[in-house]
Every structure is written in C-alpha cells, then in structure tokens.
Structure 1
Amino acid sequence: MKEDDSPDLPVRKKLPHGIPQWVDERSFYFITICCVPRWENQLCHSRVGQGVLDSVDFYHQHLRWHCLLFLLMPDHAHGIICFPRDEGMKPLIRSWKRYAARTWKIEWQSDFFDHRLRSRVLLEEKVSYILNNPLRAGLCGDSAAWPYVYHPMDRLL
C-alpha cells in the first residue's frame, strides 16, 4: 500500500506497436484509440466528428495508411487500417492524434490498442463488431444510420 492507502496497481506492459519484418505489409490491424476522460463525448459532435473523419480520409487519400473502416464513438474510435512498413504504425497514429488534438481539442489517452487481423474471418468479425458498436451502446436504432463512420469506396469488403 502507498502512504495514501490506495492499493498498488500493477504496471501495464507497453505495447511495441511495431510491425515485424516477417508480417505481410498488406496486413490490416484492428485499432482502438480512447479519449480521456472516458465516458465524455469528445468525438460525436457534427463539426468535430466530420473533421476527424476528414483527417482519416486525408491520410488514406495521401497513402499515409490504407483505411478499410473507421468509426467514432463518443469517447473512442475504432479502425481497421493497414500501415506502410517504412513509416510504421506508432508514428502514424501519434501524428494523426496530435493533429486531431490540436485542431479539435480532443484529449487522447497516451497510447492505443492494436491487434493484427490474421484471417479473413477475423477481419469480418471486427468489421461487424465496429459497425454494430453504436447499436450495442444504445446510441442509434440502426447501425447503418450512424453518421460517424468512414469507409472509402475502394476498400469495402
């Protein structure tokens, strides 16, 4: 116990977010990026949401990354993204988060979660999970009506 009687919490290991040389460069990753504080709506306001999705599209159109799907929830975002090996995942996410933070005053957690999607089945499961997230959270009655989603026409399943 610490002096203030709060329990000592375990220290989480930091994820490297590196893409190993043996991983196919065309691999997609399931990404989750959270805001702080949790439960506060920072992303799902029309101007902010559209601006954030436009910045995702900018990175996609300028080949910074290849985005299959990106969806905003009030306090976090999910994406399915392929990253070029030469720039790497962590620097690109950091750059994008910094831009969004400066432009729309979003407060992000310092890190993010990633998971490589190793099969078509897993990719389809994550697409379904992401698209149905607003419905499960009770934010809309039909997931197709959720306005805070980006999926470029050249990257549909």
Structure 2
Amino acid sequence: MTQLPASSRLRRGRFSQANGIHLLTANTLDREPLFSDWRVGRLVVAQFRHEHTQGSVNSLAWVVMPDHFHWLVELQSASLDKVMGRTKSLSARAINRMTDRTGRRWQKGFHDHALRREEDLKNLARYVVANPLRAGLVNRVGDYPLWDAVWL
C-alpha cells in the first residue's frame, strides 16, 4: 500500500463547520526555534488576534512555543484551511521582514483535532497554556509571554 505524504494524511477527513471547535497545531520549517525570540513570536500572536477581530475564529486559547504553536479556536466565518493558510502566510511575511530573511517559515500542512462540545474546554485550554511549563522553559505559566486563554 502506498503511503500518502504526511501533509496529505493530515488533510484527509478534515471538516470545517461554523461554530466547530478545533485544536490547531503548526510547526516551523525544520522545527527551527524562531520563537525563542519572543518579539518574533508576537508576530504570530498578532495574526491570531487579526483572525479573531476579523470574525474568522473565536480564539479560546493559544501558546506559541519556540518551534510550533497550539491554537484552540471556534470557527466562525472561515474554513480551517483558509484560517491556517492566512495565519501561516501572513505571519511568515512578517517574520521575514523582521528578521531580514526570505522563504518559507512553516512546515507544510497543519494538525487539527475537532472537539466535541461536551469535552472539557477549560481543561484543554489549561493543558495548552501549560506547554512552556512542561517543556521546562519557565517555572510558572505566568512567566511565559506567548500564551492566552479566555478562561484564565
């Protein structure tokens, strides 16, 4: 049996539905720790906020780690592919401008996990924002600058 490339396997079965809740994850190209510089990470945060204010998603929680991000969203007026395409494209442009570089900054594709309404979203949000603590980047979640959650 022929194995599909990872990016194609990630897309198989993806379903975008308004008001659907998804945990989205994207990795930097070659897992480069671009966001160890928090100023660069804030460019991704700005794109999250842009998608929220434009009404594409309702951002519930997010964390930008040195080489990836997790973003818990409720879809509003756009599909997963559109939201992630814009987020990765526009943040890559901003990153390249800030760092005086060119080229791709993100791995192809992204991972998404659709959640059921009855799942404990607050606990998932806590899990998302505690990533820096589990990774040993900080001693307290509040010491890490690149996270937020509507419940915390």
Native 8 Å contact 1:35 1:107 kept in 2: yes
TM-score under structure 2 normalisation?
0.81
Residue 35 of structure 1 and its aligned partner are, at CA, apart by 0.9
Matches within 5 A, 1:85-124: 86-105=77-96, 107-124=105-122
Distance 1:19 1:135, change over 3 A: same
Question: In percent, how many aligned pairs have the same letter?
Answer: 25
**What root-mean-square deviation, in Å, do the aligned CA atoms of Structure 1 and Structure 2 show?**
2.1
1:4-40: CA deviation from partner (whole Å, max 9, x where unpaired): xxxxx943424243325xxxx32211111111212x3
Task: Tell me the secondary structure at the aligned position of residue 30 of structure 2.
Answer: coil
The AA in structure 1 aligned to 2:111 is F
After TM superposition, the runs of 4+ consecutive aligned structure 1 residues lying more than 6 A away are none
Where does the alignment leave 5 or more consecutive residues of structure 1 unmatched? 1-8
TM-score under structure 1 normalisation?
0.78
The AA in structure 2 aligned to 1:114 is D
Bigger radius of gyration, 1 or 2?
Answer: 1
Native 8 Å contact 1:44 1:148 kept in 2: no
Residue 44 of structure 1 and its aligned partner are, at CA, apart by 3.2
Corresponding residue number in structure 1 for 2:22 = 29
Q: Structure 1 residues 74-83 or 11-20, which shifts more?
A: 11-20
Distance 1:132 1:64, change over 3 A: same
Equivalent residues, number: 140
Matches within 5 A, 1:59-98: 59-84=51-76, 86-98=77-89
Separation in 1 of the partners of 2:37 and 2:50? 19
1:124-144: CA deviation from partner (whole Å, max 9, x where unpaired): 332122111101110000012
Corresponding residue number in structure 1 for 2:139 = 141
Where does the alignment leave 5 or more consecutive residues of structure 2 unmatched? 97-103
Residue 98 of structure 1 and its aligned partner are, at CA, apart by 0.4
